[in-house]
């Protein structure tokens, strides 16, 4: 069970308690899908605290004790923590506001607060079987959608119309939402790495970068395709081949035990051969799960190492300002 993985980490770190406030982390650990609640974890006892709207749902979805918030989350958390003699409690510093921290500090009597935004995130990097199936399904929805709509990308259609059709088709195929605002960047706009769709009409000769993803049962997918309306120029063809080759090089470098910074560095070296390294302006990829961007990051700064169960994107791109851009993004799962 996932919650046991966290308890093992608490025991290792001699941490008495962990107050989880990030709703995705609560869902990950307990299965609770409501949009409000707090999770108090101690090695020997765990509580999910919810308000009356969610009591029945929480009891059905979780195997841990569900407690009513009794008109105040913070007072109830304090009461529970005191009853277990907690003196030190971890909380998610990257998830609460300054004011929420202030409230915690004032109300948790004689409890030292320590920020911890790595323990759960580290556990989440490695997906279990159930998670892998959900990500695969989210990916299937995105891939099928692209195949279905690509023939409709023709001169005269606007970027927004393409994005809307993508989002509608993904939902029709079972997506509960989109992983992020769909990117459709055509012509000169394709050199904007995050060019969200506008009213610009797609023209003959345009490169069109489409970055899209679906959410299925809480899990995201993320793919990018670059297509050309009409014939590619010689330059476009050459850059496309370079990006494709660099992506393959990056994918081939991914293996359990390898540093997450290595594929990025190899891709930069590959682009440098054609003097294009300066036009690759972001990192090579990122983990995908309940968040569309999560650890591990395939960036030169990453200190993570690939492990079986991780799912990451590999998305090299070349962006030639005022000319065109090309990005190709696929998802990779690390196995033994």
Cα(248)–Cα(268) distance, rounded to whole angstroms? Answer: 13
Stretch binding Mn ion (CB under 5 A), from 1-9, 142-150, 216-224, 298-306: 216-224
DSSP class per residue in 208-246: EEEEE-EEETTEE--EEEEEESSPPPHHHHHHHHHHHHH
Cβ-contact 162, 137 below 8 angstroms? no
Q: Which of 175, 190, 201 is nearest to 243 (CA)?
A: 190
- From the list 119, 117, 83, the residue with the least C-alpha distance to 7 is 119
Residue with smaller CB distance to Mn ion, 226 or 313:
313
Q: Give the integer Cα–Cα distance in Å for 168 and 158.
A: 15
Identity of the residue, 15 or 283, whose beta carbon is nearer to Mn ion in the bound complex: 283
Nearest to 94 by CA among 116, 73, 125: 116
**Which residue has the CB atom at the shortest distance from Mn ion?**
222
Is 167 among the residues that bind Mn ion (CB under 5 A)? no
Of 46 and 313, the one with the shorter C-beta distance to Mn ion is: 313
276 vs 311 by CB, closer to Mn ion: 311
**Which lies closer to Mn ion via its Cβ, residue 187 or residue 285?**
285
Interaction of residue 247 with Mn ion, rule CB under 5 A: no
We find the least distance from the C-beta atom of residue 329 to Mn ion, in angstroms, to be 5
- Of 18 and 280, nearer to Mn ion (C-beta) is 280
Q: Which positions from 94 to 133 touch Mn ion by CB under 5 A, shown as an x/- string?
A: ----------------------------------------
Which of 74-82, 89-97, 185-193, 220-228 is the region at the interface with Mn ion (rule: CB under 5 A)? Answer: 220-228
222 binds Mn ion (CB under 5 A): yes
Q: How far is the CB of 222 from Mn ion (least distance, A)?
A: 4
Say how many C-beta atoms besides its own lie within 10 A of residue 101's C-beta: 14
Candidate residues 120, 313, 319, 328; the one interacting with Mn ion per rule CB under 5 A: 313
Which of 172, 171, 149, 173 lies closest to 161, judged by CA?
149
Taking the least distance from each CB to Mn ion, the nearer of 80 and 314 is 314
How many whole angstroms separate alpha carbon 309 and alpha carbon 330?
16
Q: Which of 218, 177, 308 is nearest to 28 (CA)?
A: 218
Binding interface with Mn ion (CB under 5 A): 222, 313
């Amino acid at each position: 069970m996932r919650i046991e993985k966290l308890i093992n980490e608490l025991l290792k770190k001699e941490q008495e308690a962990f107050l989880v406030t990030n709703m995705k982390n609560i869902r990950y650990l307990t299965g609770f899908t409501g949009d409000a609640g707090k999770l108090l974890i101690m090695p020997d006892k765990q509580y999910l605290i919810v308000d009356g709207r969610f009591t029945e749902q929480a009891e059905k979805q979780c195997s841990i004790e569900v407690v009513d918030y009794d008109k105040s989350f913070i007072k109830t958390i304090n009461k529970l923590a005191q009853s277990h003699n907690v003196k030190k409690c971890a909380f998610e510093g990257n998830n609460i506001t300054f004011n929420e921290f202030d409230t915690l500090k004032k109300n948790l009597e004689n409890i030292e607060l320590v920020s911890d935004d790595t323990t759960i995130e580290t556990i989440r990097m490695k997906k279990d079987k159930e998670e892998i199936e959900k990500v695969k399904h989210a990916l299937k929805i995105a891939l099928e959608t692209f195949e279905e709509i690509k023939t409709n990308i023709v001169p005269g259609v606007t970027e927004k119309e393409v994005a809307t059709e993508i989002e509608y088709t993904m939902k029709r195929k079972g997506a509960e939402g989109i992983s992020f605002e769909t990117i459709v960047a055509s012509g000169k706009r394709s050199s904007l790495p995050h060019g969200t769709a506008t009213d610009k009409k797609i023209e003959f000769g345009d490169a069109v970068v489409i970055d899209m993803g679906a959410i299925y049962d809480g899990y995201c997918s993320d793919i990018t395709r670059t297509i050309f309306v009409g014939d590619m120029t010689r330059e476009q063809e050459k850059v496309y081949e370079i990006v494709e080759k660099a992506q393959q090089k990056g994918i081939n470098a991914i293996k359990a035990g390898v540093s997450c910074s290595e594929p990025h560095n190899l891709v930069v070296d590959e682009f440098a051969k054609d003097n294009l390294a300066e036009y690759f302006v972001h990192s090579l990829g990122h983990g995908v799960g309940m968040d569309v961007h999560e650890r591990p990051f395939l960036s030169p700064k990453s200190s993570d190492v690939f492990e079986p169960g991780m799912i990451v994107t590999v998305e090299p791109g070349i962006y030639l300002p005022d000319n065109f851009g090309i990005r190709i993004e696929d998802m990779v799962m690390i196995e033994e």
